[in-house]
Amino acid sequence: MSERYFTAILPPPAVAEELAGVVRQLAALPDAERLRWTERDGWHITLAYYGQISDPDRLAELGDRLAATARALQPFALRLAGGESLGEWALGAGVAGDRTTLAGLAAATAEDGLALGLPETAERHPSYRPHLTVARNVRSPRPVAFAPYTAALAPFTGREWLAAELVLMRNANADERPGAHTYVPAATWPLGGRAAEGT
């Protein structure tokens, strides 16, 4: 089984519940059945991609670097607001709040991957557009137009929360079932903290 890794900020349950209510309304829009809706349990704000890491020593070294990055940053405020379309293939909720600190954390975790020569990090760095993906177009000759969905998301403003943890996520079935994603936290580090949690 191929395991691909990335760093992320996870919304707390109350924030996810607010967004879930809006997503239920989106599912009633035309062509919604043609979209692949993401699983709420896997909702996240991606920071940096690392691709497949099969060497345990390299994964451990990445963890050490991420732990140091997390220790150097204090918790900061975020909220979900509005809608984002990422090209014609992904629909997401926008991210507001302290986007400067968020972008800095994304850049720092990308640098952690670049320092280890992880190829997927190099391919995707430095472009960064914070969002939380809620749906994807299934690749077909005629993708669903996202305009009605981003318009429906535009008024949404979720509650503010304190982003206090850096999470290393893994996608265990990225290659086994193309288009399907099961995201599982692999390790967690408190921002400004001293120790890592997880494996």
- Cα(47)–Cα(104) distance, integer angstroms: 10
pLDDT at 124: 65
Q: What is the pLDDT of residues 82-101, one digit of tens each?
A: 999 988 889 999 999 999 99
Q: Which domains does the chain have, with CATH numbers?
A: 4-192 (3.90.1140.10)
**Per-residue confidence at 190, pLDDT binned at 50, 70, 90?**
very high
Q: What is the pLDDT of residues 105-161, one digit of tens each?
A: 999 999 999 999 987 776 665 578 899 999 999 876 789 999 999 999 999 999 999
pLDDT at 75: 97
Cis ω before 126 (30° cut-off from 0): yes
Residues 6+ apart with CB under 8 A from 162: 75, 76, 77, 78
- Cα(83)–Cα(147) distance, integer angstroms: 10
Question: What residue ranges in the chain does DSSP mark as E strands?
Answer: 4-9, 35-37, 45-52, 76-86, 90-97, 131-137, 161-163, 165-171, 183-190, 197-198
CA 131, 128, 170, 109 torsion: positive or negative?
Answer: negative
Q: What is the pLDDT of residues 14-62, one digit of tens each?
A: 999 999 999 999 999 999 999 999 999 999 999 999 999 989 999 999 9
pLDDT at 194: 53
User: Residue type for 106, please?
Assistant: A
